[in-house]
Amino acid sequence: MNSQTIKALIDAGAIKSVSIIANGSTIHIDIITRAGGSNTASTLKGTIKTWRSIDSAAKWLRNLGIGNAKLDVSRWTPDQQGLLL
């Protein structure tokens, strides 16, 4: 789900909850819609959108107009080196 789709869902009031999930050294965002579907934020090319810091993910959400998100850092290892794939 890219930013354009997320904006359309925000305008329609179709977002139930948003989670910022830190896993290893990578952070991504999951969005749950009112219909019950779970989607991960993606780029326009279709790959999963990731961040290196929690604050940059939160700023991205805020710029979209989302002011409330759950933060899951249970699997976060901020000093871990990411894999180059």
Any idea where the domains of the chain sit in the sequence? 3-70
- Cβ distance 16 to 32 under 8 Å? yes
pTM for the full model?
A: 0.87
66-75: average pLDDT: 94
- Name the residue with tokens 């789709």: 5
Count of C-beta atoms within a 10 Å radius of residue 31: 23
What backbone phi and psi angles, to 5 degrees, belong to 6?
A: -60, -45
Average confidence score pLDDT of the chain: 92
pLDDT digits (tens, 9 = 90+) for 30-65: 999 999 999 999 999 999 999 999 999 999 999 999
- Cβ distance 33 to 14 under 8 Å? yes
- Cβ distance 2 to 44 under 8 Å? yes
Amino acid at 48: I
Query: In the predicted model, is pLDDT for residue 22 greater than 90?
Result: yes
- The DSSP 8-state label assigned to residue 42 in this structure reads B
The pLDDT, as a whole number, for residue 83 is: 56
Give the separation between CA 40 and CA 16, rounded to whole angstroms: 14
The proportion of the chain whose per-residue pLDDT surpasses 90, expressed as a percent, equals 82
Query: In the predicted model, is pLDDT for residue 85 greater than 70?
Result: no
69-84: average pLDDT: 81
